[in-house]
Chains A and B, each alone.
Chain A
């Protein structure tokens, strides 16, 4: 038994309340305590990952009750990997000043940082829990925080958030109902225990219903096409930093649940051969890639374009999961990591542009490249990574996904993945052309007005942009050290080449 899994959540939960209480007294203290909590949690996550990689799976029994009776928190390579991504992106976003990220902070009413911490705590909880019902609770904790945070974005966001709440609750209820079926069939809620008990029950209609309900529920949370309808509004009206967290880690956590079901609850062959779940996820993903990319091309609003692009990127993850071979899962997990950095960076850039110039629509971005060269340079790196130009990170997740598709003999997926890089290129180069290739509006003296944002905005953006390059060059280390260990138990043989 090790306390590492709990140590990642505890600072977040604790400082969520400290931040709110301190914020009531003085606003700046809310910010400081959020950063402290995030840093502690990050340290725990880094430590946890190293410990997992050297010692293997760690588990913590909540309240001292051993599973399957008590709730078990598990840190295995997959959850440690996800936890680190969540905390890292979360901390970068917390550092980003709320004034730029939220446009209109009601001066004292919103305990903003506390909510963000609560959102992160919920996400981490989903990742480390080993209990199916506990997962539902964390799922709703993070969903509730995201509803509240989205609604800060103004009156459009309010409506978008309400709709998301409706759909999100349906998703949660479906998941809960699915768990109910599993519980009444097996008598257990512990994932490892359920996995042990399930194989003899696979033929039962209750289990089939449970699988269908759980996958639909998670599909909505993950915004997998065609269950994505809540996403474009929610992500484009949400404040930039909230959109950054939602797009880069929140929906990926739902993708994690899908992978977790595959790894720890159901058996792969059951979802692949007896029920066409994997094929469905794959094809939904493929359709989402095309749909999201095409819709993104049609958008004028920068953040809305990014939101549709998120649907396409979730499609990649869906395709990777749907392939259900080592390379596919590695590609999906690597894409979760890469997408967190790329999309986080892009949404923060959107916030920076909005803060410095008040612009939202792409046609007005003319000449920004010369007015804010560093920030737009970071944008260009992230955009090229979205397109999949080597040696940025985005290329390598595509590389594993294409190889996975070819290995699985699924040429249609391979062609869709590469074709969508072209569509991605269309919508990002449209922006790049506007930003860099058109002369900026000059002041009367004829010189370009520089308006590079202050370091507090710039540094998080640059960290993520540099991260995109570093992840690209070091992807082999991540894959061999972490991801191959993740997929190894799934396929008994050790990972891909």
Chain B
């Protein structure tokens, strides 16, 4: 049991990160904190891909004449490349969300969800 945990401890950490992220999005009343929760959730998923692409004892995927063409010697670059795209998407989302938040705080003079809801129902 312990061995299993130690062998995959990074995945458990990723799961913990995801939980923290989702908790932040659900439980925090401040919209900025919700956004931070969202970022934590996304980061956890990026880490999941990056960890999944890793390989013990392998090197960067540039063919080295000394190592030859043995695929076991190189890590899989695809998940990492995917996550570059994922990070771009994540940044765009964060940027748009921040733009919204600036506007919201200008309109409602608050970033607290309860205050905003009260203001909206007026």
Contact = CB atoms under 8 A, between A and B. Distances in A.
A170 interface: yes
A165 B96 contact: yes
Contact of B107 (A136, A144, A155): A155
B42 A173 contact: yes
A155 B108 contact: yes
A137 B89 contact: yes
Contact of B100 (A151, A156, A184): A151
Given A158-B103, A158-B104, A184-B52, A165 B97 contact: yes
A156 B107 CA distance: 10
Contacts of B35: 166
B34 interface: yes
B96 to A, nearest CB: 6
A28 B31 CA distance: 37
Contacts of B108: 155
Chain B interface size band reads: 20 to 34
A159 B118 CA distance: 12
A259 to B, nearest CB: 24
Interface in B3-50: 22, 25, 31, 34-35, 38, 41-42, 45, 48-49
Chain A interface size band reads: 20 to 34
Contacts of A156: 120
Contacts of B79: 180, 183
B32 to A, nearest CB: 11
A170 B38 CA distance: 7
Contacts, number: 67
Given A148-B96, A156-B120, A162 B86 contact: no
A147 interface: yes
Contact of A159 (B22, B82, B85, B116): B116
A35 B24 CA distance: 43
A180 B120 CA distance: 40
B101 interface: yes
A20 to B, nearest CB: 16
Interface string A175-206: 01100100110000000000000000000000
B30 to A, nearest CB: 12
B93 A180 contact: no
Given A151-B100, A165-B96, A173-B41, A159 B25 contact: no
Contacts of A166: 25, 34-35, 38, 97
A158 B99 CA distance: 10
A77 to B, nearest CB: 29
Contacts of A480: none
Contacts of B104: 155, 158-159, 162
Contacts of A165: 93, 96-97, 100
B27 to A, nearest CB: 13
Interface string A136-159: 110010001001100100011011
Contacts of A184: 52
Contacts of A291: none
Contacts of A299: none
A184 B107 CA distance: 46
Given A169-B38, A173-B42, A162 B31 contact: yes
A140 B96 contact: no
A133 interface: yes
B44 to A, nearest CB: 8
Contacts of B92: 140, 144
A180 B49 contact: yes
Nearest to B53: A184
A32 B77 CA distance: 43
Given A158-B100, A159-B120, A162-B104, A180 B41 contact: no
Nearest to A139: B89
A184 B93 CA distance: 26
Contact of B48 (A137, A147, A180): A180
A31 B90 CA distance: 30
The 9 A-B pairs of least Cβ separation, nearest first, read A140-B89, A155-B107, A162-B100, A184-B52, A177-B45, A173-B45, A165-B97, A169-B38, A133-B82
Given A159-B120, A165-B93, A169-B42, 18 more contacts: A133-B85, A140-B89, A147-B96, A155-B104, A156-B120, A158-B107, A159-B104, A161-B100, A162-B100, A166-B38, A166-B97, A170-B25, A170-B38, A170-B41, A173-B41, A176-B45, A177-B48, A180-B48
27 contacts: A137-B85, A137-B89, A140-B89, A140-B92, A140-B93, A147-B96, A147-B100, A148-B96, A151-B100, A151-B103, A155-B104, A158-B100, A158-B103, A158-B107, A159-B120, A162-B31, A165-B97, A166-B35, A169-B41, A169-B42, A169-B93, A170-B22, A170-B41, A176-B45, A177-B48, A180-B52, A180-B79
Interface of B: 22, 25, 31, 34-35, 38, 41-42, 45, 48-49, 52, 79, 82, 85-86, 89, 92-93, 96-97, 100-101, 103-104, 107-108, 116, 120
